[in-house]
Chains A and B, each alone.
Chain A
Amino acid sequence: MQEKKQTAMNRRNFLRAFGGASTTAVAAVTLSPGEAQAYDPGEEETRARYRETEHVKAFYRVNGYETLKK
């Protein structure tokens, strides 16, 4: 009986110790969050793709045929 009681105590001690350790770990994680990271596209993503090619110039010329031909 004495031996069984000892086993039970050990288990409880283990759980208590384990639970306490887990709580501490969670608290540590909660208390020290990392900085929020906003999406920061690089220069390659945000660089200008537009170029005034012959194709684009033709579009402006055709659309401004009434006005820009002068």
Chain B
Amino acid sequence: MARMKFLCDADRCIECNACVTACKNEHDVPWGINRRRVVTINDGKPGERSVSMACMHCTDAPCAAVCPVDCFYTTADAVVLHSKDLCIGCGYCFYACPFGAPQYPRVGNFGSRGKMDKCTFCAAGPEEDSTEIEYAKYGANRLAEGKLPLCAEMCSTKSLLAGDGEIIAAIYKERVTQRGYGSGAWGWQTAYRETINV
């Protein structure tokens, strides 16, 4: 059984934020919530690196481990989803998540935050596939349509990979084998001269 994974090739990410915008548009994500974000380190300095982050659909998800109402579940293709009908907006999952993936529509404590919202790997939620009620709660269900997450599909530099973990790992491995990694990657010497060590 294929296991769904995201992989961001940080040597290719140019911090265009198109993945963030595409996600918000595809799922009609409300103001104040970003299911995906681009994190940049050493911003503006040589060796600057960007990586696109969202829910990484952990194998042993810490959000699910701490949820007091046990609203998380993992699908057969290893996507971590949750039920907004059960979520009480306590915020525990936000503290547990190492990637800061869970988001809340309102500012406040406990239930006043509203229902938690996060990346669904474009697989929506427990409602019936591709229905209006599912879209309203969780956004589009592209996986059920035979597609992959839109953020990865429209990445202009082919930085963000999504899909069967084994296949995208093979793609990345081959890239690294051919071009090198970090300062050894092609393009770095041209852009930052050979003296830059990353």
Question: Which A residues contact B (CB, under 8 angstroms)?
Answer: 38-39, 41, 45-53, 55-56, 59-60, 62-68
Contacts and interface: CB of A to CB of B under 8 A. Distances in A.
28 contacts: A38-B70, A39-B73, A45-B73, A45-B75, A46-B74, A46-B76, A47-B75, A48-B76, A49-B77, A49-B143, A50-B4, A50-B143, A50-B163, A50-B164, A53-B146, A55-B146, A55-B147, A55-B148, A56-B146, A56-B163, A59-B152, A60-B167, A60-B168, A62-B158, A63-B168, A66-B174, A67-B178, A68-B171
B152 A67 contact: no
Nearest to A53: B146
B86 A39 contact: yes
Contact of B147 (A48, A56, A67, A68): A56
Interface residues of B, number: 38
B153 A50 contact: no
A63 B158 contact: yes
Contact of A41 (B73, B143, B177, B178): B73
Contact of A68 (B76, B161, B174): B174
Contact of B161 (A48, A55, A63): A63
A39 B83 CA distance: 9
B133 to A, nearest CB: 14
Nearest to B82: A39
Interface in B142-175: 143-144, 146-148, 152-153, 158, 161, 163-164, 167-168, 170-171, 174-175
A45 B126 contact: yes
Q: In the A-B complex, list the 3 residue pairs whose CB atoms are closest, starting with the nearest.
A: A67-B174, A53-B146, A49-B143
B50 interface: no
